[in-house]
Structure 1
Amino acid sequence: MSKPVKEVKVRGVIPADSSCAVFLGNEEKTFVIYVDIGVGSAISMFLSRIQKDRPHTHDLVGLMLTAFSARVDRVIINQLKGTTYYGRLIIAAENELLQQKIIELDARPSDCIAMAAQQCAPIYVSQEVWDEVEDMSDVLRGIEEERRREGDQG
């Protein structure tokens, strides 16, 4: 039996000291996951569809999936223990006989989000995690307003 989930989207990626704050949410709520700067940069590049001269790590994983006729079907942020989030990467693969196989892997939510952004796959959060996280919608709105003001002055 599967647990209930909420679909979310990346609403913002904001550099923060030696990490990045990835804001995930929907119309109801937005929460933040802090990721290392490299993965935060990858997520931003995928969302902006920036072409790179050479493949980075997540690009390589995506190329490998394609080579095996597989793709990221969806990702789920399924657990929160203290301040540590846990995720599942759901991969759909098809063999030469067109038989489909679903593979579920334990993965860091940051990598899950990057792979979902790369392959335009949906991101879900378990209801359990959703109920536990603090709504950061106002914080993100404030950051976006501040950036707009700075852009208007510059």
Structure 2
Amino acid sequence: MNKIELEILGLSSSQSQQGSFALVLGETVGNRRLPIIIGMFEAQAIAIEIEKIVPNRPMTHDLFKSFARNFHYTVEEIMISDLKEGVFFAKIVCSDGAGTTEIDARPSDAIAIGLRFNVPIFTNESVLSEAGIVLTDEESEPEIPPTPTGSGGRKKKGSSNEKLKDLSFDRLTSMLEEALKGEDYEKAAKIRDEMNRRN
């Protein structure tokens, strides 16, 4: 079965399910998009890794990475393998150097883990044919609102982003430390983005 490589294009609030997010994947070569509805916590785990925010305590997916590394397992790839009755299925392909093992997982968990191991994400033609959205040349990319960590898309006008502009760099540094201690990753990302803009 031919594998089709995907890349993460963005996360946006789900229009249909409150408290859920749409993870938008796209073909690396092609114009099809694969939106997958995921929960808020999984969206946060993905966004934290995309934004390279280091939490004070390891999250579940970080724990998986530490566990695997300590027992000399690596993750080779993530495969979104099937779609049954509107539910996506995924596999984490692991290796111990001698052989490979496929572990069943939800796509959101598999992708969060795959990001931490910096491995490619794949699917197959049957999944893309059934659930993919084709963008024609005339259509533009859908607007992706900010991710659960507060970045990764277009910024909302007004809101706290403008207030952060008025604060000193030292104040932003202390606020960032407080946000990380309180595990408020959305606020931490906004502060970090403002600090990066000044560098």
> TM-score, normalised on structure 2?
0.66
**SS of match in other structure, 2:96:** strand
What aligned pairs does 1:1-154 form with structure 2 within 5 A after superposition?
Answer: 3-16=1-14, 17-26=18-27, 27-94=30-97, 100-135=98-133, 141-144=141-144, 148=154, 150-151=156-157
CA distance in 2, matches of 1:127, 1:136: 13
For the residues of structure 2 that align with 1:113 and 1:47, how far apart are their CA atoms? Answer: 11
Q: CA deviation at 1:19?
A: 1.1
Taking a change above 3 Å as real, the CA distance of residues 75 and 141 of structure 1, as seen in their structure-2 partners, is same
Shift of 1:73: 0.4
Provide the rounded CA distance (Å) in 1 between the counterparts of 2:134 and 2:50: 21
Which digits, 9 at most, give the CA deviation of each residue in 1:81-132, with x for residues without a partner?
12100111100113xxxxx221111111111111111111100011110111
Distance 1:34 1:109 in 2: 10
Bigger share in strand: 1
- The alignment partner of 1:141 has SS state of coil
Number of residue-to-residue matches in the alignment? 147
Q: Deviations over 1:33-64 (max 9, x none)?
A: 01111011001111111111000110100100
**Contact 2:12 2:145 (8 Å CA) reproduced:** no
Shift in Å, 1:144:
3.5
Of stretches 9-18 and 84-93 in structure 1, the one that deviates more from structure 2 is 9-18
Structure 1 residues not aligned, in runs of 5+? 95-99
Secondary structure in structure 2 of the residue aligned to 1:38: helix
Structure 2: give runs of 5+ residues left out of the alignment.
Answer: 147-152, 163-199
**TM-score, normalization: structure 1?**
0.84
**Percentage identity across aligned positions?**
24
Query: Is 141-150 or 26-35 further displaced after alignment?
Result: 141-150
- Whole-Å Cα distance in 2 between the matches of residues 31 and 132 of structure 1? 10
Deviating 4+ runs (over 3 angstroms): 136-140, 144-154
**Alpha-carbon RMSD:** 2.6
Offset of 1:149 from its aligned partner? 7.4
**Structure having the higher Rg:** 2
Cα distance in structure 2, aligned partners of 1:142 and 1:56? 30
Structure of greater relative contact order (alpha carbons < 8 Å, 6+ residues apart) = 1
